[in-house]
Structure 1
Amino acid sequence: MKSKGLNYLIPLILLSSFFFTNCKGKLIPTGDIWFAKHYIIMQDWERDLYKSLSEEGRLKFQQLFWQFRSPKSLELFEKRMNTIETQFKKENYSQPWNTDRARIFLLNGSPSHIGYSESSSWFTPQDRLEKDNEDIQSRMIEVWDYSFEGGTVKYEFFFNPPNEWRLNSNVYRDPFLKEFERRNKERFFGILKKEEYEKELEKLRKG
């Protein structure tokens, strides 16, 4: 009986890992390609509404989303997405936009500086002597710096073998970084005619 239960459980775990990915502690359905691509540039209330809609409602939402944003915003989105599909393909071949570094790049653009360091919390100097290069690489941190308001905001990505870089969610404890992202949403992908847009979305919500 126990092994039979595991036989049912394992496919469910694999299925859930296929359809969902994590971003800042929130699950993003990877089965919805449009949502996965646009998630990071959407407002929280847009995400909530989108998830509540029927398939037909979501298609209408997708049209309205870009209808009420500048053509330059769409052009920038497509330009950055083209870069993502080339630069981050090693991390996720089928959905390169569904990686932590790709989402940060899509929202903020290229960092002013990229650096690398070892996580001292993971191993001691003596450990370093005993580990091979692959072990040390698995403890690497990639740091993206962005200039903002006369200072710097930082994103840390931990290397997860064989080829994934995972965002350290602790960076969101910094209110300075949250403000940086909020402004970039408005700067690069801001909503035009917001009241009219909200009225159209309300029609979708009511069905």
Structure 2
Amino acid sequence: MFWLMLLAVAPGAPAQQRLPPPPAAPTQPSASRDVAIGAVRSYRGDRTLINGFVRVPHELLDAVTIGAGGFAEFRLDVGVVDARGTVLATDRWTRRVPWTATRARGAASVEMVTFTVDSGAYEIRASVKDSASGRQSAATLPVQGFRARPPASDLLLAPEIRRATPGDTVAGPGELRKGDLLITAASDVALSPTQAALFYYCEVYRDSAGDVPWAVRVRGGEGKTIVTTPPAASAIPAGGGVITGSVDLAGLPPGSYQLELVIGAGADSLVRSARFRMAGFEVEQELAQQQQATVATGDVFSQMTEAKLDTLFAPLFYLAPLSELNVYRGLTLEGKRRFLREFWRQRDPTPGTPDNELQQSFYQRLGEANRRFREGGAAEIPGWRTDRGRIFILHGEPDEIMRRPVNGQSNPWEAWKYTQNRALKYVFYDQTRLGNFQLVYTDDRKEKGMPGWERLVGQDAVDEIARF
């Protein structure tokens, strides 16, 4: 990562040169294959400090050399332009990317720029040239300098924020330092079911010290609030301070969302917001193929593409803790193959035979869960990510099922019972009447029900489930 300091840029600064307008590119790219620029503004003295992030997707790059030690390479040109089109500052640098990284689905480099400006309108321009093919891609982002001190900075979202410790005070590759916090840079924050923690950072400016109340909420694509955190308060010293934290969004369906930080209370409150994505796993087709094929003798991972390896890795959080899985994302293609071989080798119930029955049944159940338990609505949640799908994958077909459809004012529910190895009972309730069943009660200590579920289903249903 490169840290470019373009400080004290002002509208009246002498022009260094004029850049030709960049090739047409959307200000907010609609696809992950576009070069993208993100920026957040904060206040320093009487100027606006802008932290910019340029995302360069590796899909845009061709290999300079292939194989062991192979790499791709790109040149990045960055400029800051005022409202008159005058280039106030420019810089360029070259970045080399390992060839294996260019083959990973969704992989990208994030380059950082930092500059300060006076009040006024500006534009960040970024142009990327692939060294192997000569192809060029570009993006622009308009930014506005504050006219006066704002009550708060822009909201910065990140996949990780950590606090510096003695001996670990220098920002690493891809990290931005804010005070004693080290923030992982991202122009477009995308979470996943296995990496669902979203971190946020916002500066609050005020003349006097005091406790400032705040809360976080998450809105879906239609503006509906779907997550709200309990109210909190931060002690903000005179001059200003920071509100930072994280929210666990595990279980959020794939899609685009907005996190809002509500600062203050009542008429004095203000909102800072930023968008993020929850990525899903395109598993249905891959798992259907896996379901049709049995695990044959030999190395089933040796010829798989990285995209297919990632697909087979995605649901493994049902079987293993994140502490075991976190290493996977940073591995090379061959490293991912070794990880999956070892993962299933350790769980093979019959290591002396050519078949791994657990691996085979796991992916067969995943395919069946996708076929039977996909849930409706705008989210289109694949079956393996639903509550019923999860229980089916972990325990197989229930020994008994009790189903109750919509009946007047009563919503549908169903109860599953397992009686073989250990007696277990699960109750799923559909509050939407759209086929979206949520686990509300179970006697399985590894699963969580819903407090007060009896009020949802009604006493008659509770009695019926108890007799089941």
TM-score w.r.t. length of structure 2? 0.26
Does structure 1 residue 152 correspond to structure 2 residue 430?
Answer: no
Q: Aligned-pair distance for 1:83?
A: 0.9
Does structure 1 residue 143 correspond to structure 2 residue 415?
Answer: yes
Does structure 1 residue 97 correspond to structure 2 residue 384?
Answer: yes
Does structure 1 residue 51 correspond to structure 2 residue 323?
Answer: no
Does structure 1 residue 77 correspond to structure 2 residue 77?
Answer: no
Does structure 1 residue 14 correspond to structure 2 residue 220?
Answer: yes
**TM-aligned CA distance change 1:144 to 1:53, over 3 Å:** same
The residue identity in structure 2 corresponding to 1:116 is R
Does structure 1 residue 109 correspond to structure 2 residue 396?
Answer: yes
Q: Residues of 2 paired with 1:148 and 1:29: CA distance?
A: 37
Q: Deviations over 1:27-60 (max 9, x none)?
A: x985685565222222x3xx22323654317835
Q: Residues of 2 paired with 1:48 and 1:109: CA distance?
A: 26
The residue identity in structure 1 corresponding to 2:220 is L
Q: Aligned-pair distance for 1:90?
A: 3.5
The residue identity in structure 1 corresponding to 2:325 is Y
Q: Deviations over 1:137-183 (max 9, x none)?
A: 3xx3311001046x732111111312211112x52xx4xx348xxxx
> How many percent identity over aligned positions?
21
Q: Aligned-pair distance for 1:94?
A: 5.1
The residue identity in structure 1 corresponding to 2:250 is F
The residue identity in structure 2 corresponding to 1:115 is M
Q: Is the 8 A contact 1:21 1:29 kept in 2?
A: no
Q: Is the 8 A contact 1:36 1:98 kept in 2?
A: no
Q: Aligned-pair distance for 1:72?
A: 1.0
- Structure with greater proportional strand content: 2
With a CA cutoff of 8 Å and minimum separation of 6, indicate the structure with the bigger relative contact order: 1
The residue identity in structure 2 corresponding to 1:157 is F
Cross-structure match for 1:41: 319
**SS of equivalent residue, structure 1 residue 21:** coil
Cross-structure match for 2:437: 165
The residue identity in structure 2 corresponding to 1:14 is G
**SS of equivalent residue, structure 1 residue 90:** coil
Q: Residues of 2 paired with 1:135 and 1:34: CA distance?
A: 42
Cross-structure match for 2:52: none
**TM-aligned CA distance change 1:54 to 1:87, over 3 Å:** closer
Q: Which runs of 5+ in 1 are unaligned?
A: 23-27, 119-131, 180-207
TM-score w.r.t. length of structure 1? 0.53
Q: Deviations over 1:107-160 (max 9, x none)?
A: 101111111359xxxxxxxxxxxxx946423xx3311001046x7321111113
Cross-structure match for 2:61: none
Q: Is the 8 A contact 1:30 1:98 kept in 2?
A: no
**SS of equivalent residue, structure 2 residue 374:** coil
Q: Which runs of 5+ in 2 are unaligned?
A: 1-149, 158-215, 228-248, 253-277, 282-309, 349-355, 447-468
Q: Is the 8 A contact 2:375 2:386 kept in 1?
A: no
Q: Aligned-pair distance for 1:85?
A: 1.6
Q: Aligned-pair distance for 1:80?
A: 1.0
Q: Deviations over 1:62-93 (max 9, x none)?
A: 34212323211111112211211211123574
**SS of equivalent residue, structure 1 residue 64:** helix
**SS of equivalent residue, structure 2 residue 398:** coil
Cross-structure match for 2:371: 86
**TM-aligned CA distance change 1:64 to 1:30, over 3 Å:** farther
The residue identity in structure 2 corresponding to 1:136 is S
Q: What's the RMSD between the two structures over aligned residues?
A: 4.3
**SS of equivalent residue, structure 2 residue 385:** coil
Q: Residues of 2 paired with 1:51 and 1:13: CA distance?
A: 28
